[in-house]
Amino acid sequence: MTDKIVIGTRGSKLALVQAEWVRQQLQRKHPGIDTQLEIIRTTGDVKPDPLSVIGGKGVFTKELEDALGRRQIDVAVHSLKDLPTIIGDDLQLTAICEREDARDALILPATADNDVSSLSSLPHAAIVGTSSPRRVAQLQNIRPDVVVKDLRGNVDTRLRKLDEGQCDALILASAGLRRLGLTKRINLHIAIEQMLPAVGQGAIGLQTRGDDARVNDIVSQLNHDQTGLACTAERALLRALGGGCQLPIAAHATIVGSELTLDGLVASRDGSNIIRDRIAGPAAHAQSLGNELGARLLAQGAAQLL
> Quick check: 120 pLDDT over 50?
yes
- Burial (CB < 10 A; 0-12, 13-18, 19+), residue 217, is exposed
pTM of the model: 0.92
Confidence label for 89 from pLDDT (cuts 50, 70 and 90): confident
- Of residues 138 and 303, the one with the higher pLDDT is 138
Q: pLDDT band for position 177 (50/70/90)?
A: very high
26 secondary structure, DSSP code: H
> Do the beta carbons of residue 260 and residue 129 sit within 8 Å?
no
| Confidence check: pLDDT of 53 > 60 | no
**In this predicted model, what pLDDT tens digit does every residue of 198-236 receive, in sequence order?**
999 999 999 999 999 999 999 999 999 999 999 999 999
The catalytic position among 45, 49, 74, 82 is 82
256 strand-pairing partners: 259
Is pLDDT at 47 greater than 70 in this prediction? no
Q: Is 156 a catalytic residue?
A: no
**What is the C-alpha separation between 8 and 39, in angstroms, rounded?**
6
Residue 102: closest CA among 225, 218, 253, 210: 253
Phi/psi of residue 97, each to 5°?
-80, 160
Please count the CA atoms within 13 angstroms of the CA of 56 that sit on its side-chain side. Answer: 18
- Please give the domain boundaries of the chain with CATH numbers for all domains: 1-98+201-223 (3.40.190.10), 104-189 (3.40.190.10), 224-306 (3.30.160.40)
